[in-house]
Amino acid sequence: MAAKKKSVLAQRVNELEDAVTRLFTGEPPAPAPKPAKRKKAKRKAAKAKKAAKKIVGKVKKAAKKVARKAKRIAKKARR
């Protein structure tokens, strides 16, 4: 069975309880949890990555075309 997600309030209560416990035990404070990445930023990054891939593909295709043309010209020159 999947674990039920805690509510924000329950998470905060646990954090505060932990902080109070640490105050009395003399332990250093726990490191703050990293905030989750925003989904919008992820989407934009994915979109940019896709666009970059497309451009790279076009450049590679053009480079191949130029290479083939150069090969043909070199072949013609040898005749």
Domain that holds residue 73: 8-78
Considering the domain boundaries, does residue 40 fall inside one?
A: yes
Considering the domain boundaries, does residue 60 fall inside one?
A: yes
Number of domains within the chain: 1
Considering the domain boundaries, does residue 2 fall inside one?
A: no
pLDDT score of 3: 62
Q: What angle do CA 43, 6, 23 make, to 5 degrees?
A: 110
Verdict on whether the full-model pTM lies above 0.75: no
Considering the domain boundaries, does residue 3 fall inside one?
A: no
Q: What share of the chain is helix, strand, coil (3-state, %, to 5)?
A: 75, 0, 25
Q: What is the pLDDT of residues 21-68, one digit of tens each?
A: 988 888 887 777 777 766 777 788 888 899 999 999 999 999 999 999
Considering the domain boundaries, does residue 34 fall inside one?
A: yes
